[in-house]
Amino acid sequence: MSTAVTTQQETGADAVAAPAPAPAPGQFLRRLRARKGALVGAGVLGLLVVLALAAPLLAALEGQDPTTYHDALVDSARGGVPLGDFGGISADHWLGVEPGTGRDLFTRLLYGARVSLLVAVGATLVQVLVGVTVGLTAALGNRLVDTVLSHVSDVMVALPMLIFAIGLTAVVPQDFPRPLLLVLVIGLLNWGATARLVRAQATTLNKLDYVAAARLTGASPLRVARRELLPALAAPVLTYAAILVPVNIVYEASLSFLGVGVRPPTPSWGQMLSSATTWFQADPAYVLLPALMLFVTVLSCTVLGDAVRTALDPREASRLHIGRRTGRKGGAA
């Protein structure tokens, strides 16, 4: 399935050209800072991480917890719509309460952020770990190993993994810790693109003189991989990982939305949105809050990931620049 299409789909990350030398950390940060979007994205994301980490503290500050039912705060005569305006916002419940149960929304959203970020980052780590291992093995192994691993990676990329993920969650024992299961399911099903990227880059690097020199000194493949290839692969892999995080956040939310994510009463944004489908008419605030959290998180991750890619890849920056220049010329002609 080595189609031009699936390659282009993966945000063009499969470029077979040798990875450009990674800029020094200082230079990388300077380039990143030069992009406004990156700053905003990083700021928002930083805030979210702090909020997620401080969830117990903030919950204590508000004096609420995410699981206690408050039957007195919902109108049982109207099917459980929160009493008061905007979903029952009050001094006690800063963002209102959940319709039906009266659970505090502010704390539920905060604890939802924990699930979301934890699962997404964990899954990304698994993906990178497996992807780099498979990609490097394919690049350094003999032809048979390469063919088999490359085919497996291609198939992994092409298949609709959400369906498999759903199927898998059906067969795993119920008492298996759910967040860990999500990390494993998302991570182990979606490493194909990373493996392809690493294989392509490592194959190119492998032909360069300095790697050949290392091999001539008698270094084992393992040592070549560790000392010569991995450092050079850091930049493209990091770039790709930055793009994977928001994808995984959506993944987790999707699984939770479909009812196969974390188990209640643990809150998760996708799960909240799923239950909001029956409430959007009576209590719009209940839809808007988790939707906004999810949207802002994913958008800031995407913007930051985009900026990281540009900052790490000098060719990308110069290509955009050239494109714009010809554009102006063309417009004037």
Partner 1 sequence: MTGYLLRRVLGALVVLLALSVLVYALFYLAPGDPARLACGPRCNPEQIAQVRDQLGLNDPVHVQYAHFLQSLVAGHDYSTGTGVQHCAAPCLGRSYQNDLPVTDLIVQRLPATVSLALGAMVLWLLLGVGAGLLSALRRGGITERLVTWLVLAGAATPVFITGLMLLMVFCAQLEWLPFPSYVPLTEDPEQWAWNLLLPWLALALLESAKYARLTRSSVLEALAEDHIRTFRAYGVSERSLVLRHALRAALPPVIALTAVDLGTMLGGAMLTETLFGLPGIGQLIVQATRTVDLPVVVGVVLVTGAAVVLANILADVLHAVTDRRAALR
- For residues 117 and 233, which CB has a smaller minimum distance to partner 1 in the complex? 117
- For residues 11 and 67, which CB has a smaller minimum distance to partner 1 in the complex? 11
In this chain, which of 13, 74, 189, 250 binds partner 1, going by CB under 8 A?
250
CA atoms within 13 A on the CB side of 88: 26
Of 17-25, 73-81, 190-198, 321-329, which segment contacts partner 1 by CB under 8 A?
321-329
How far apart are alpha carbons 135 and 244 in whole angstroms? 17
Under the criterion CB under 8 A, does residue 317 sit at the interface with partner 1? no
Q: Three-state secondary structure along 203-241?
A: HHHHCCHHHHHHHHCCCCHHHHHHHHHHHHHHHHHHHHH
Under the criterion CB under 8 A, does residue 260 sit at the interface with partner 1? yes
In this chain, which of 16, 172, 213, 222 binds partner 1, going by CB under 8 A?
172
How far apart are alpha carbons 141 and 25 in whole angstroms? 32
- For residues 2 and 90, which CB has a smaller minimum distance to partner 1 in the complex? 2
Helix (H, G, I), strand (E, B) or coil at 292: helix
- For residues 1 and 208, which CB has a smaller minimum distance to partner 1 in the complex? 1
In 3D, which of 293, 246, 298, 299 has the Cα closest to residue 109? 293
Residue 56 neighbours by CB under 8 Å, 6+ apart: none
| Phi and psi, residue 240, nearest 5° | -65, -40
Shortest Cβ 162–partner 1 spacing (Å)? 6
In this chain, which of 71, 264, 295, 318 binds partner 1, going by CB under 8 A?
295
In 3D, which of 66, 19, 42 has the Cα closest to residue 229? 19
Q: What is the DSSP string of 59-85?
A: HHHHT--SS---GGGEEGGGTSEESSS
Under the criterion CB under 8 A, does residue 48 sit at the interface with partner 1? no
Size of the site for partner 1 (CB under 8 A): 57
Under the criterion CB under 8 A, does residue 287 sit at the interface with partner 1? yes
In this chain, which of 167, 177, 231, 264 binds partner 1, going by CB under 8 A?
167
Helix (H, G, I), strand (E, B) or coil at 14: coil
Among residue numbers 119 through 148, which ones bind partner 1 (CB under 8 A)? none
**x/- binding map, residues 1-20, to partner 1, per CB under 8 A?**
xxxxxx-xx--x--------
Residues that bind partner 1 (CB under 8 A): 1-6, 8-9, 12, 155, 158-160, 162-164, 166-173, 246, 250, 253-254, 257-260, 270, 273-274, 276-277, 280-281, 284, 287, 291, 294-295, 298-299, 302-303, 306, 323-324, 326-328, 330-331, 333
